[in-house]
Amino acid sequence: MLRVGLTGGIGSGKSTVAARLAEHGAVVVDADRVARAVVEPGTPGLAAIAEEFGPGVITDGALDRPKLAGIVFTDDAARQRLNAIVHPLVRARTAELVAAAPPDSIVVQDVPLLVENGMGALYHLVIVVDAPVETRIRRLVDHRGLAESDARARIAAQADDDARRAAADIWLSNAGTPDETRAAVDALWTDRLAPYEENTRLRRPFSRGAPRVVDYDLTWPAQAERLLARLRLAVGPAALRVDHIGSTSVPGLAAKDILDFQAIVPTLDDSLAEPLSAAGFPRAHGFDSDIGHPPGSPETPKHVHVGVDPGRWANVHVRAQDSPFARISLLFPAWLRADDSARAEYAQVKRGLAGQHANIPAYGDAKEPWFDGAIQRAERWAAATGWRAD
């Protein structure tokens, strides 16, 4: 099962995107609809609201939403009491709907306040639907009958574009015609969502070809933060720590467009195999050890899990806490961040070797002589500066 979070500001057109995804076969769980369903007449939710706020919020056996709004939107404590009733019911009903979906489903959870509530880590991917502010205002005025001042106030009360971009794996513009939006959803389904679901369900790593060394991408840190949150949630306390490592964690450094992560565990075993696989990172066998450093040292066992999202190549290296490379993988990028000349030197080495080798194993092996000397320099830097892998 692939879980996708769908969100966007009011008037952005999420409903158009959700409807098209449903046409492709997605199981759409609409948070707003669930929130209404759990307080329908005769439900425990409605009874709890009546008990908390009095019979005045009930009209003809149903929730009188304007009356309740008049109470809670001017009183933070009252709103918190309402949320304490409704939110657990919504979570429980949503969990039931997700659990009832077939194992090969793409479950799309339409959550208006996904960004505001920091829920991105719950999903394999987050789609943010966007449209220009003036377009959204026009839609709210023309189609929902809101006053322009009300429309602007509602937009201003929600997360801004910067917050949404930080949460978005996929930024889907709905500024054009409905046909253009539907075409974008069609391509997204075919090129990314459907293969991602299948790869995750089958626990199937796949070949992506030989990556190139590219200039540093300013979006790598935000991409890494999203994946870090998901990985940390997936492994929980079984890992001592999970970090973004490798060249993409060094600002300004040219690198292959692959995000590398390290999970340090007390003992190397199979305890992370299933949670990482379910999160979209099945184990890739054949990459089961780190080369010993200094030369002649024994190899150290590790596990490698490869992300199967067609839109983002990422690896997770699982190492025991006593593995020398667990520390080196934290030290090396820390040193490169601090040493401009070393960073420039490493970029030159990478670009030179990348043009000579067609696959990652050969490229990695070719870097070892330089890397071995660099580790010694990094260790001297750590000793001089008091660096610790905190």
Q: How high is the pLDDT of residue 358?
A: 67
**Is 12 marked within a binding site?**
yes
**What are the residue ranges of CATH 3.30.460.10 in the chain?**
213-385
Alpha helices, DSSP H, located in the chain: 14-23, 31-37, 44-53, 65-72, 76-100, 133-144, 148-157, 161-167, 178-188, 194-202, 220-235, 273-278, 324-338, 340-354, 360-385
CB 13 within 8 A of CB 129: yes
State the pairing for strand pair 125-130/2-8: parallel
Give the C-alpha separation, 231 to 243, whole Å: 9
Strand partners for 221: none
Q: How high is the pLDDT of residue 76?
A: 84
43-74, pLDDT tens digit by residue? 999 999 999 999 999 999 999 988 898 888 77
Q: How high is the pLDDT of residue 236?
A: 97
Q: According to CATH, what is the number of the domain 2-202? A: 3.40.50.300
pTM beyond 0.85: the answer is yes
Residue ranges of E strands in 217-307? 241-245, 255-256, 259-265, 289-290, 300-301, 303-306
For helices 324-338 and 360-385, the axis angle rounded to 10 degrees is: 70
Weakly modelled stretches of the chain, pLDDT under 50: none
**Is 249 marked within a binding site?**
no
**Is 16 marked within a binding site?**
yes
Q: How high is the pLDDT of residue 146?
A: 82
Q: How high is the pLDDT of residue 209?
A: 73
Give the number of other CB atoms < 10 A from CB of residue 103.
Answer: 7
Q: According to CATH, what is the number of the domain 213-385? A: 3.30.460.10
Q: How high is the pLDDT of residue 36?
A: 94
Longest alpha-carbon distance in the chain: 82
**What are the residue ranges of CATH 3.40.50.300 in the chain?**
2-202
**Is 11 marked within a binding site?**
yes
Q: How high is the pLDDT of residue 389?
A: 87
